[in-house]
Every structure is written in C-alpha cells, then in structure tokens.
Chains A and B, each alone.
Chain A
Amino acid sequence: MILAWLIIIPLAGGVAAWAAGRKDGHWPRRLSLAALLIDAVLFVVIWRDAATEPALARGTWLAELHLNWIPQFGIGIHLAMDGLSLVLVGLTLFLGMLSILCSWTEIRDRIGFFHANVMAILAGILGVFLSLDLFLFYFFWELMLVPMYFLIAIWGHENRQYASLKFFIFTQAGGLFMLLSILALYFIHHAGTGVYTFDYSLLLGTPLAPMTSLLVMLGFLISFVVKLPMVPFHPWLPDAHTEAPTAGSVILAGLLLKTGAYGIIRFVLPLFPLTAPVIAPAMQAFAVIGILYGALLSFAQTDLKRLVAYTSVSHMGFVLLGIFAMNTTSLQGAVMQMLAHGVSTGALFILVGLVQERMHTRDMERMGGLWSAVPRLSGMALVFGLAALGLPGFGNFVAEFLVLLGTYRMSPATAAIAAAGLVLSAVYALWMVQRAFQGNRRWSGSLPDLSLRETGIMALLVIAIFWLGLYPGRVLDITRPLVSTMQFIPPSANQLDARTGGPAHDRMP
C-alpha cells in the first residue's frame, strides 16, 4: 500500500495546491513541497529496508501491491518496486522538489494550476516507474502527457503553442503504437492460455512466433525511443525543452526521458529476450549516431537552453547504447547515466532558468562576462559543465565509463566511436562556459547573484552529482539484482529465423 501512497500523495497535493491557489500564491508552493517531502519520507523508509533486507540480494520485489480494477478485462492495479524503480523514484522526488523550488519566483500567474500540473506529471512518472500491469502502465504513461502539454502551452516561452503540440503529437503517436503492442500481447496470451490479463508477471512467459515477436516489440520500442529520444525521433525535444518553463524543462529532461529508458529495461528486454538481441546492433548504431549528432548540434546552438537540450540527446544516446550493449556492466552504466544525466541536466536547466530570469534572454551572443557579475552562478555553471563533459569525480564519468567498458567487450569499434562523443562533449561544455560566462560583456546593467534559495538548490544538486560520482557503489548495489538476473543471449546464437521462440519466463524474477 505504501506504493499507492507514493502516487496518491502527490496527486492529492496537486489538487490541494490548485484549490489553495485561488486565494494566495504561496500556499500552492508550500503544499506541493510538503506533499513531495512526505513522499520522500516514504521513500527513505523503503530505501532503508532495501539496504538491509535480504530480499534485495534475491532480486525479488521490495514492495508490491495487487488490487482488482477492471476484472472484466483482466486489468489490475499491480504496483511493485525493485532496485531500478527505487532509484528512479528517488530521482523523481528529488528533481520534483527542486522544480517546485526553482519556480518559486519564476512562475507568477496561475500558480495553483501550475502546481497541480507539476504534481500530476510527477504522479504519472511515479506511476510509470511502479506499474507492473501493462494497462496501468499505459494509463500512467498517458497521464504524464496532458499536464506536461499544459505546462509548456501555458507557462512556456515565445513559441510555446507549436512546441507543446509537437511534443504531444510525437509522444502520443508513439504511445498508440505501444497500446497496439500491449493489446497484441494481451490477445496472444489469451490465445495461448485462455486467460485475459495485462499482468506483467503473467505476460512474461508468452510464447511468440519470431515475426510477431519482432512486430510487437517494435511497437513498444517506438514508443520508448520517441520518449528517450533516439535520433531520428528527437525533433520534439529541442523545441519542448526550449519553450518549457524551467520546471518543465527539468522534469522533461530529468524524468520524462528516463521513462523511455526505463520502459526498455523493464519491458522490452524481459518480454522479448530472444528478439531484442537481434536488433541490438541496429540500436547501438542509432545510439552512437545520437551521441555524435546531439553533441555536434549542441555545439552549433546560440540559444543556451537549446544547447542544453541537445546535450540531452547526446547523453541519452549513452543510455541507449548501454542498454543495447546487453551486458551487466553496460546496463549498470545505463542506469547510472539515467541518474547522473537527470541531476546534471536538471542543474543546467535550472541555471539557464536563473540566467533567463535575470537577463530575460537565452541568447549566448548577448551574455559574456557573467563571471565577474554573478560569480556564484557562473561557478555552478562551470561545475555542471564539467559534469556534462564527464570529468572524473562526477556521476556522469562513472556512468559513461561503465557504458563504454561494457560496449567495448561487445564491440570495440562502437565503443571507440562513442568515446569520440566524449571529446565533443568537452568541446561544447567548455564552449558554453566560455561564451556565456567568460570573455567580454555584451550587456549592460547589474545582476543579482544567487539568492539563498537558489544557493540551496544548487548545493543539493552539487551534493547529488558528487555522491553519484564518488560513491556509486550504493546505487550499483541496489540495481545489481535486477541487472544480474537478466541473461543476455549473444546475438550470434539466435538468428531471427532459426528459432521458434520458446517460453522465456525464466529470465526474470
């Protein structure tokens, strides 16, 4: 039941914030923050259990909830949490609180509705990370969309209508493919067993003919890689990130993108253990293209926010590469990258938001010389610029290192090309710091440096990114059970047409 509370509390907090917003601007913020803090307490409780419980070592679920919802369709409320969900829930709550804090002064109108939307998105994301019923999963998957659309369309910047529509259509179209695949799986399972169910643990053993398996898997995959985003499904991302308000960008980059990666790890690999390796080489190729393409394009941007948005494409390429390199090390790296990217990109977006709040522009051509005016803010930008380029000591370094190490074992050439992305990331990160924060001033007037609240936000982020970089063992321990129970079949041993697609339920707990 604790899992249900994790989702219900933010939702309730959002409703309360909406109601409170009609009277006063401050209560929505306080209520939202309070709801997330309560959630964080629950999270800490689970985390402490997780660390001690022997359950973790066996790889079973840390907590589980199973209720009936629409029995006629075999739909249940099945929530469960393992190490992967646990760390991602932690990330969600952390970034959720920061996005509330960072919009404390940025959002000035329709405050109640804003917080209701933010909390609804967070609840949807938490639901995605916890659902084990495919229908429920799809439900939460869609639940994230509408409030995100509002967030961009109402509080976004100049081009918000276009960006929000593009975001919605891309992800919704992807989601419909997933719905088709979920239903196909549902009916195939029924044809085989006579049972109508959407339950993940039951569907795991569904035998699929090779061609069917490929098609059904592609349905899931399209939906997930649009979210991720994988090149060439990324066009929505730069627009959405750039136009969204700061909190929206933080949630988009830090959390929404992670749901795509989570979906691949949770659903695509275990449901299609024989088919996934077949397309792994292609996915690796796309991942590497994404790494290089994202890095190159971010180098070409003059809009600071757009630059950060393109770095996400590059960094999420590493996640994809780690997942489809298909070994324990690379998968650990992918999970690590999800967390590190969430923190570092979240921080960069918050910094951009702070700059924009002060200068009313995101154009780097009109910045320069910020260091002397706002040294603390600029120092933070340098820290997270360095994190983005993967300097040792930061979480990103650990993650990218593990991904490359894992990939190298499978395919040294791929790892080598992907490593070139690291060089490019150094170029764009330093270029950004140089153009925006150093050099000559191209503006006039004076700017205030970080306030106490803003310093607090940045301090939390710095602690988080260093914690991930210096003590990665804790996170790796927690996610290890899941990762190590996945048995990867080398692609050479299973050609698509050379097998019949036997039951695969022994591959996952």
Chain B
Amino acid sequence: MNTAISISGLKALLPFLIMTAAAMVVMLGIAFRRDHRFTVLLTLAGLALGGGSLVFTPFAPDRYVTTLVLVDAFAGYYLALLFAAAFAVVCLSYSYLEIQGGHREEYYLLVLLAVLGAAVLAAATHFASFFLGIEILSVSLYGLTAYQRHRDQSVEAGVKYLILAAVSSAFILFGMALVYAEVGSMEFARIAIRAGAAGGALLGTGLVLIIVGLGFKLAVVPFHLWTPDVYEGAPAPVTAFIATVSKGAVFALVLRFFGNMDIRVGGALFLIFTIIAVASMFFGNLLALMQQNVKRVLAYSSISHIGYLLVTLLAAGPLRLNASAFYLAAYFVTTLGVFGVVTVLSTRDRDADKLDDYRGLAWRRPWLAGVFTAMLLSLAGIPLTAGFIAKFYLVAAGIGSALWLLVIVLIVNSAIGLFYYLRIIGAVYSMDGPPGPSMPISLSGSAALGGLTLALLWLGIYPGPFLALIGSLMQTAH
C-alpha cells in the first residue's frame, strides 16, 4: 500500500485542493465582508479556478494518489461536469437569493463544500474516500435544503432529506463493513476481483446493503420516497443541485464501483439492477402523470431518468462509459435548464411550482418559455435537443448488448413520459394565462439559462466533437 503523496500526486489533487481552499476563502470572506455579490464572485472564481486547474492536472489511467483516489480521465470528465453544473447553479442561486432576505452568503459555502464532496466521489477508489465524499456532500445538502428557514416546506424537506440520507449512509457503512470482512480490503479494485470470483454471504449482503444506500442517494425505485418531497420543499436552485451534482457524482461512483465488477447476464447483480431500472422507469413516469406540482413532476421524471441511465451500467463493451458520460452531460444541461426556469420565476414568497404559474408563459415571456420548452422537449427526448441524442445513445448501447427488455421498457416509458411534459408545455402555450410580465430576470440568471440553452442545442444538433472528446477520454480511462 502506497501511502506517501509525491509532488506529482499533489498536482493531481489540485482540483480538490482548490475546492477546499475556495471553501475556506469564501468562509473567511464572509467573516470579513458580508456581501452577497462579493461572495458569489468569490465562489464563481473558485469554481472557475477548479475547472481551469483540470487543464493542468496530469490525468493518467494509473494516477492513484494513495489508494484513496484515482485521478484518471474518467474522474477528470466528471469533475469538469460537476464544476460546470455548480457554476450554473451558483449563477441561478444569485438571482434567486437576491430577492430573498436574510443571510444569503453561507449558502455558497455549503455549495462549495457539496461540490468538494461530489468531486471526491467522482475520483474515489476506496471505501474511505467513498464514505467521506458522500457524507461531505450529504451534510452540506441538509443545510442547503433547509436553507430557507422562514419557509416551512424548506425546513420540512431538510428534515426528510436528513433522515433518509443518514439512514442510507448507515446502510452503506454497514455494507462496507461486511464487504471489508470478507475481502479484507477497502479498495474497489480488490473488491471487484473478489466479487467476480463468486464471493460468500457476507460480501453478497454487503453489496446489497451498499446498493440500497446508493439507491437512496440516486433516488431509484423502491428507495425514491424522499425525492418528491425534497424536490418540492427545497429552494429551486438547491433542487437543481440535488438533481444534477449530487446524483451525477453518485452515479460516477456507481460506475466506478460496479463497473469493474463482472455484471453478467443472469447474475444476481444484473437481476437487481434490471429490476431497479425497470421499476424506476415505470414508477417514475406513471407517478409523474398524477402530479399537479411542477417540481414534483420533475422529481418523478428524474427518477425515471436515472432508471434510463442504469441501462448503461448493464450494457457491456466500450459504449457503456461513453453513453453514460454523454447521457449525464445532457441530463445535467436539461435539468439545470428546467430548474433554472423554475428558479427565475420564483418570487420572494414561494417557488413557481404550480402549473398555473406557467399558464400562458409563452405570451408573457417568449424567450423564457422558449428555453423552458426546449428543456422539456429534451427531457422527453425529442430531436434537435441533447436529450434525443442521449437517449439514442442509451438505446444504442442497450441494443448493442442485446438488453432487449430494458430497451423496450425504455421506449415505452419515453412515450408515457411525453404526456406529462406535454401537459406542462400545453400550459405554457395556453391562451388563458394571467396578463402582464412580473419582475425582470436578473443578468446572472439569464446568462446561465442562455448558456444552458446553447449547450442543449449544440449537444443536440452537432454532438460530433463532444462525442469524440468523450470517446478519447473514456478510452484512456478503461
């Protein structure tokens, strides 16, 4: 076991160090000067620095820094994705919090810490870094979810998220202990070897417990019960953060942890993931049909999207990592865009989560309605948007591995999903909305939404270069 950190190891840790430093600088900054704009600028600078440092980070397939983290191109890709998503969330949060009163600055501290946790997850190769990453992420999210102290929903969502996330962490931890007992190591690579060679009861139980815990974090059926409540209660930009950064980082970890294992067709793991994927797709979409609250609809829709994404985990071959990388990028852009619109429409008193808030939006704010429509169509997987290419890639990966059941379920669910996306779009373009525009959208909010829309169209219309990039990154990763 190599425990010493060399200079090149430190260089590889640069993004993590920068995030840590950024969190501390922001904390000190708040202590010296409590100013919303100043804090946001510090935060954005930290995220930009962290993202910029990725250019200088020496990624290599075997760049282990101790046994805890592996800084390879896979980690690099997800770090970039997480930083970019956090950047967008901060931009949106600024316009959201600007109209709220009270102490707004600590919010950004929590965001930075959560990003740090997520980043650790994306590079983790050891139970210790896995657990620490997931806890840093979760604990920061408790605070973020309950951040609006004056709103009952926000606090209630915070408590619910707190209890379920803590329980799921306990499951993961207990599972880790059992796996450790049998394998005698906490390194992913060794566990994977052992799991491939048909492990015993302790290892099996441990893995199942870990899957349960990760299932909570990913919000897949049957561990999804917290999702709609938390999505509804949390402030809109925090919901966007949970839906993207948190889930994306956990999924990167799932890919790393289970990706090394031999998930054979017919094996127990294959069966478990298949059931989870199918159940998530169906429950997510069918329950979304019955919701009246836009944030709840999006919560159930995100459940089904993670269900779709699990298809890549089960697919074999080189397409797997590429498909999930592209899907997550598209899902990030789309989800951030949708919640971005919810964010900029929210008022001081409440979030814009009723269908009525969107009625006739197209005639009051045509640009915003256009962005919202594009994002919803992308979630539904309609051509010209990133969501279409992403879903196409998933289906291609699924068919390439002959996962016919999953692919057909995915396609049937895409059709079901159309109903509720179209219902929202129908409301946006209905003629009987309330008249007159409300307050203008802030610059940072519109900049974030504009960037996201461009990204959406770019990924949807001309994905060639991005696919090539993913291809070259993932090739070196595995």
A165 at interface by CB-CB < 8 Å: yes
A110 at interface by CB-CB < 8 Å: yes
Majority-rule SS of A interface residues: helix
**B431 CB, nearest partner CB in chain A, Å:** 7
Interface pick from B85-93, B131-139, B414-422:
B414-422
Of chain B, the residue at the smallest CB distance from A18 is B366
Contact B415 A172 (CB under 8 A): yes
**B8 CB, nearest partner CB in chain A, Å:** 33
**CB neighbours of B419 from chain A (8 A):** 165, 169
Contacts A169-B419, A179-B411 known; A143 to B384 CB distance under 8 Å? Answer: yes
A164: which of B426, B468, B471 is its contact (CB, 8 Å)? Answer: B426
**CB neighbours of A145 from chain B (8 A):** 382
A187 at interface by CB-CB < 8 Å: yes
Interface size class of A (residues with CB under 8 A): 20 to 34
**B67 CB, nearest partner CB in chain A, Å:** 35
Contacts A165-B419, A169-B419, A172-B418 known; A72 to B467 CB distance under 8 Å? Answer: yes
1/0 per position for B387-410, CB-CB distance to A under 8 A? 011001001100110000001100
A299 at interface by CB-CB < 8 Å: no
**CB neighbours of A154 from chain B (8 A):** 429, 431
Contact A142 B407 (CB under 8 A): no
1/0 per position for B333-368, CB-CB distance to A under 8 A? 000000000000000000000000000001100000
A427 at interface by CB-CB < 8 Å: no
**CB neighbours of A183 from chain B (8 A):** 395-396, 399
B411: which of A68, A143, A168, A176 is its contact (CB, 8 Å)? Answer: A176
Of chain B, the residue at the smallest CB distance from A109 is B431
A138 at interface by CB-CB < 8 Å: yes
Contact B415 A161 (CB under 8 A): no
Task: Give residues 66-110 of A contacting B (CB, 8 Å).
Answer: 68-73, 110
B383 at interface by CB-CB < 8 Å: yes
Contacts A143-B384, A165-B426 known; A184 to B399 CB distance under 8 Å? Answer: yes
Contacts A153-B429, A169-B415 known; A70 to B464 CB distance under 8 Å? Answer: yes
A41 at interface by CB-CB < 8 Å: no
**CB neighbours of B450 from chain A (8 A):** none
A139 at interface by CB-CB < 8 Å: yes
Contact B471 A153 (CB under 8 A): no
Of chain B, the residue at the smallest CB distance from A72 is B467
B316 at interface by CB-CB < 8 Å: no
Instruction: Report the bound CA distance from A168 to B419 in whole Å.
Output: 9
Task: Give residues 140-187 of A contacting B (CB, 8 Å).
Answer: 142-143, 145-146, 149-150, 153-154, 161, 164-165, 168-169, 172-173, 176-177, 179-180, 183-184, 186-187
**CB neighbours of B363 from chain A (8 A):** 110
**CB neighbours of B40 from chain A (8 A):** none
Contacts A70-B463, A165-B426 known; A173 to B415 CB distance under 8 Å? Answer: yes
**CB neighbours of A150 from chain B (8 A):** 429
Instruction: Report the bound CA distance from A456 to B307 in whole Å.
Output: 56
**A184 CB, nearest partner CB in chain B, Å:** 7
B377 at interface by CB-CB < 8 Å: yes
Contact A180 B411 (CB under 8 A): yes
Contact B383 A139 (CB under 8 A): yes
Task: Give residues 250-303 of A contacting B (CB, 8 Å).
Answer: none
1/0 per position for B368-388, CB-CB distance to A under 8 A? 000000000100001110001
Contacts A146-B377, A183-B395 known; A70 to B415 CB distance under 8 Å? Answer: no
**CB neighbours of A72 from chain B (8 A):** 464, 467-468, 471
Of chain B, the residue at the smallest CB distance from A196 is B396
Contacts A139-B383, A153-B426, A187-B399 known; A176 to B415 CB distance under 8 Å? Answer: yes
**CB neighbours of A186 from chain B (8 A):** 396
1/0 per position for A368-412, CB-CB distance to B under 8 A? 000000000000000000000000000000000000000000000
B407: which of A70, A173, A180 is its contact (CB, 8 Å)? Answer: A180
Task: Give residues 460-474 of B contacting A (CB, 8 Å).
Answer: 462-464, 467-468, 471
Residue with the highest number of chain B CB atoms closer than 10 Å, among A138, A145, A173 = A173
Contacts A154-B431, A173-B415 known; A149 to B422 CB distance under 8 Å? Answer: yes
**CB neighbours of B431 from chain A (8 A):** 154
Instruction: Report the bound CA distance from A113 to B468 in whole Å.
Output: 36
**CB neighbours of A146 from chain B (8 A):** 377, 382
Instruction: Report the bound CA distance from A204 to B429 in whole Å.
Output: 42
Contact B422 A179 (CB under 8 A): no
B422: which of A143, A168, A173 is its contact (CB, 8 Å)? Answer: A168
Instruction: Report the bound CA distance from A177 to B410 in whole Å.
Output: 11
**CB neighbours of A70 from chain B (8 A):** 389, 462-464, 467
**A160 CB, nearest partner CB in chain B, Å:** 9
Contact B396 A142 (CB under 8 A): no
1/0 per position for B109-147, CB-CB distance to A under 8 A? 000000000000000000000000000000000000000
Contact A138 B467 (CB under 8 A): no
Of chain A, the residue at the smallest CB distance from B467 is A72
List 5 tightest A-B contacts by C-beta distance, closest first. A142-B383, A173-B415, A72-B467, A176-B411, A139-B383
**Can you list 12 pairs linking A and B with CB atoms under 8 Å apart?**
A71-B464, A72-B464, A73-B467, A139-B383, A146-B377, A153-B429, A165-B419, A168-B422, A169-B415, A172-B418, A179-B395, A186-B396
Q: A73-B467, A143-B383 are in contact. List 19 more A-B contacts (CB 8 A).
A: A70-B389, A70-B462, A70-B467, A72-B464, A72-B471, A73-B396, A142-B388, A143-B384, A145-B382, A153-B426, A164-B426, A165-B422, A168-B422, A169-B419, A176-B411, A179-B411, A180-B399, A180-B407, A184-B399
